[in-house]
Structure 1
């Protein structure tokens, strides 16, 4: 068996440094060599698995540097006779316009005719094949010719990197080798060992593995990383806590998330402030550090009290872009009368990040901030209904509807939505520093993609409030691979159209839900393809394009990229 189980994943990169994550077969020292520069780190253990995050510094800014990974002096990456180019470390050039890929919702099933028939073509894998030069397309999705080899500077995964509750045949086969599928939690994940196998299924395909070894990535979870409707409501939470298996599941979900996703998000400054990272770097033996109890204890604390740890993070790319990635799942407050999509500490942190003096303020949140107006109004109505606006019996109906049709986005947490709207208005009107060219929300989750733009309400315009001097944009890319059934697409498309907005608004008014401080409408969409989006800064404007994988003939394992949409957001007037 290879000494390298999973990875390498190129995670957070800065001007001269890069973090490389691996899972190894045993306790070891992992070394990354890039040109004349190298760095090493010992592994740490969690539930019998072994991991390392190697931070290599002294790299040349923005210069792709081929690298190798060694485990106890054995060369494990790149693999011999690989058809893929040499993996490279590319740090951030803060003087160059940022190019950022983003998307969400990716299931892990085979890349063959059957898998593509049930789940569509994996857009991430198609992207990797195109980046590697293994496939080509007649119409390159970025509008460039084949000689343009500039890749994104980073990819932002906006949730549902793995599906712990909707398992594939391969995952169910692994579960069945350990326990009965006829006992709780049946075909869903149970513990850390099963999460480790699920991540391996998601990231081990050769094209995906090469992509993740070369393209820097940051991530945030959504519900399916733990379970559908995670933290939808207090009633949902109590239902889960009454089961015999939920406690082990949530502890495994959060502890594995820290290892596989969150650790690699952190910049050098954020790692310096992270207590667990300090435990890792402060360990001087003897033997391998075992973090099992530390991470399990952290997961229990976070589940009981969200303010115990922050999974949100932010970073600046020079003076041009600030990226703020918000945890809209684990940080929720669910008590009646004070429901909030993020708790007070998280809201205060977000308030501190929502500042101007950059060309673009990007807010990554797995759940769209601006849903289609019809969907937004119905979710706002449902929150009021479930809170008892029409009595106890109607509240029970509202709760059932909330869980049945996933009414738990920002719109279903009206107090928090209004607070963040106020922050956006203050940033965009210049009350928090020079207004950016755009305030842009990047999101996933809803299994359709679109772009919306927001403005002041007409009432605000009549009152003469400060005008918005930034363009306020919502860009959604979902799914990467997990399309909606055709029957569901019809209903989603209807609720996404302007005809549904008055219906939803009438329902909201019936429960005295206040009007939102902003109004918004589609710029383009929705569309339902599996796709991956790319955003590129163009001065104080943006260009964004979405690309899907398309199979030619019977070459199911070699899809090519095809452009789905290409949208330019001009600078504000």
Structure 2
């Protein structure tokens, strides 16, 4: 069956059978020009085989905390090819399932001549896809797109980048709370929040077990990065937060479970085969594959030791990574675990991480895409608010005001790049050097891709060519949430910071010697939109287009939402200016004039 062949939609989704050989997956993760990786979780130890076009690739499972996993490297493929694949465990076929309602999964290698189509978004809660779930959390944009792809109604994307909050460890669903209550007392800390690795494993099953999403993840390559809710709200917001949370009796176990499960479920799939061979923990898996006989490799101690060391000394391990997509380069930056939190020298990235990013931000590519869960360019009014709060929290107006600013920072999440000004300035200068052609041929565009803020928008540096000599457009594109809508009152506030409060906030910053003024001003050109949505960035030569898509329930059919367009923005090459082709739907505020 070809990629565009239609498939019948199921009447309802179901979670994977816990006693079946295949617990979760397969998930098509890394994709290159000639290789790919396929991730699975199994119910028992065994050998996992991926079958492609008469050829087989195998990997034995490894175990972490009693759970079994495998990551199969499929190599030696042709560039730009497309093949159906199947998975078996110890010779027993497990995927596709018999009488599957979806097309067979496919591996499509990167073709340098094919324009990149990249999906991106963040913030997705795992509640049922029924009437109640849609009333409380809205329609899942990811699942809606999966159904449209299965029916052959959409063009095939090259990659989906999940930019944080794949799982919510601190805001659990009813199904997750039932699982927790069956194993411990909810009246004891951390209550209804995730406690340990076992609960994280179940959380991932709820997040990825839905039938439609499971199929999409088996056939569209994905890359991921954590944000705070993968661990806990405000993770690494400040030194004060760090001290407070470490005094709780449950935090260490939670953090170890969160980082360890992230390595297993999300991180290793981000890495290319050569990077897997260099990874200090995964190299043990590869060494075990070359050994003869022996028991299943238990990585529990190694993974948890890595989590402990990475938390205490972030420089020992890198969660950031890079993907080359032919005409584009995607650099995904860890903006959570590598922070410098010392009050007088706060930075989003520590020196080692900053040096790595410095090496990745070069030209000689058509489009440079920088994935960071937290928007680099916030709406200007909100950026200034965070910069003001940061200055106050550092004690510029006394200890009492500093304590209030710290409380505000934690309560309303004033902890984006603006709250780590040293790192913000350093990264901005790197980007401007790329845009001016000082690090190789300047790309047509440098685009930050982000999520986190539960609204979507586009921002751009003002007159980058005429003011700063840039040959590249410098753009921020945000898509959030995939499924976790913002309360209405907060929507009003976010709209104000994007538009009406820009000038008042800028007036305050300009009249304060303690609040830095950005060297390269920007404006919100499109948005904000508050719908659940998933964005698609498409390369069109030196131009880009970005479309935000969501889902609607029509005719009371909650099982089959219909794909809708929330907004569409075209970004011509550097000589032009952005043009909105479709505004937000009813319910989204009017963009209004740019302030």
TM-score bracket for the superposition, by shorter chain length: over 0.9
- 1:103 matched to 2:121? The reply is yes
Mapping of residues 22-101 of structure 1, within 5 Å: 22-101=40-119
CA shift for structure 1 position 183:
0.3
3-state SS of the aligned residue for 2:33?
Answer: coil
4+ residue stretches of structure 1 with deviation over 6 A?
none
Q: Secondary structure at the match of 1:210?
A: helix
RMSD: 1.4
Q: Is the 8 A contact 2:456 2:529 kept in 1?
A: yes
Distance in 2 of aligned mates of 1:30 and 1:508: 61
Change (3 A) 1:456 1:420: farther
Q: Are 2:444 and 1:442 aligned?
A: no
Counterpart for residue 262 of structure 1: 267
The aligned residue for residue 364 of structure 2 is 357
Q: CA deviation at 1:507?
A: 4.6
2:164 to 138, 159, 168: 159
Residue 511 of structure 1, CA deviation: 5.2
1:368 has 2:375 as partner: yes
Residue of structure 2 aligned with 1:401, choices 377, 401, 408: 408
Query: Are 1:204 and 2:248 an aligned pair?
Result: no
Alignment-derived partner of residue 487 in structure 1: 489
> Matched residues in 1 for 2:491 and 2:386: separation?
18
Of the three residues 523, 528, 536, the one matched with 1:521 is 523
What is the distance in 2 between the residues matched to 1:188 and 1:330? Answer: 20
Of residues 15, 23, 26, the one that matches 2:33 is 15
> Which whole-Å CA distance do the structure 1 matches of 2:259 and 2:414 have between them?
23
Contact 2:35 2:73 in 1 (8 A): yes
Of 5-14 and 497-506, deviating more is 497-506
Deviation at 1:514, TM superposition (A): 2.0
Does 2:339 correspond to 1:332?
Answer: yes
SS in 1 for 2:329: strand
Say if 1:505 and 1:226 are closer, same or farther in 2 by CA, change over 3 A.
Answer: farther
Alignment check: 8 A CA contact 1:456 1:519 kept: no
Partner of 2:185: 180
Alpha-carbon deviation of 1:484? 0.4
CA contact (8 A) 2:149 2:155 kept: no
Residue 509 of structure 1 deviates from its aligned partner by: 3.9
CA contact (8 A) 2:539 2:545 kept: yes
CA distance, structure 2, for counterparts of residue 82 and residue 540 of structure 1? 40
CA distance in 2, matches of 1:450, 1:398: 27
Distance of 1:445 and 1:353 partners within structure 2? 23
1:424-463 equivalent positions in 2, closer than 5 A: 424-455=431-462, 461=467
Q: Partner residue of 2:580?
A: none
- SS of 1:474's partner is strand
Question: Secondary structure, in 3 states, of the residue corresponding to 1:23?
Answer: strand
Q: Confirm or deny that 1:229 pairs with 2:247.
A: no
Once residues 138 and 42 of structure 2 are traced to their aligned partners in structure 1, the CA distance between those partners, rounded to angstroms, is 32
Partner of 2:424: 417
What is the aligned partner in structure 2 of residue 570 from structure 1?
A: 572
Q: How far, CA to CA, are the matches of 2:528 and 2:556 in structure 1?
A: 29
Q: C-alpha distance in 1, partners of 2:227/2:396?
A: 29
Q: Which has the higher contact order (CA 8 A, sep 6+)?
A: 1
Q: Could you tell me how far 1:501 is from its partner in structure 2? A: 3.9
TM-score (norm 2): 0.91
Structure 1 distance, partners of 2:204, 2:165, is 11
Give the distance between the partners of 1:196 and 1:126, measured in 2 at CA: 25
Check whether the contact 2:445–2:473 (CA below 8 A) recurs between aligned residues. yes
Cα distance, 1:121 vs. partner? Answer: 0.1
**Which range moved further: 200-209 or 514-523?**
514-523
Unmatched 5+ stretches in structure 1: 135-145
Tell me if the contact between 2:387 and 2:516 (Cα under 8 Å) persists in the aligned partners. Answer: no
What whole-Å deviation, never above 9, does each CA across 1:426-464 have from its counterpart, x for those lacking one?
Answer: 111111111100010000000000011113689x94xxx
Q: 1:30 to 1:527 in 2, by over 3 A?
A: same
Structure 2: any 5+ residue segments left out of the alignment? 1-18, 576-595
State how far apart, in whole Å, the 2-side matches of 1:73 and 1:162 are: 32
Query: Quick one: distance in 2 between partners of 1:507 and 1:523?
Result: 22
After TM superposition, give the deviation of residue 390 of structure 1 in Å: 0.6
1:195 to 189, 200, 205: 200
Q: Aligned pair count? A: 554
Mean CA deviation greater in 513-522 or 156-165? 513-522
Single out whichever of 475-484 and 534-543 deviates more from structure 2. 534-543
Q: Tell me how far apart the structure 1 counterparts of residues 486 and 50 of structure 2 sit (CA, whole Å).
A: 41
Match 1:306 to one of 314, 317, 320: 314
Report the CA distance shift for 1:503/1:30 in structure 2 as closer, same or farther (over 3 A). same
Q: CA deviation at 1:540?
A: 1.2
**Separation of aligned partners in 2, 1:331 and 1:298:** 14
Tell me how far apart the structure 2 counterparts of residues 13 and 276 of structure 1 sit (CA, whole Å): 21
Q: 1:163 to 1:501 in 2, by over 3 A?
A: farther
Q: Distance in 1 between matches of 2:492 and 2:323?
A: 38
Report if the CA contact (8 A) 1:384-1:511 is conserved: no
1:538 and 1:316 map into 2 onto residues whose CA distance is 17
Question: Cα distance, 1:510 vs. partner?
Answer: 2.6
For residues 505 and 468 of structure 1, what CA distance do their matches in structure 2 show?
A: 27
- Deviation at residue 64 of structure 1 after TM alignment: 2.2
**SS of corresponding position for 1:394:** helix
Deviation at 1:317, TM superposition (A): 2.3
**Which moves more between the two structures, 398-407 or 62-71?**
62-71
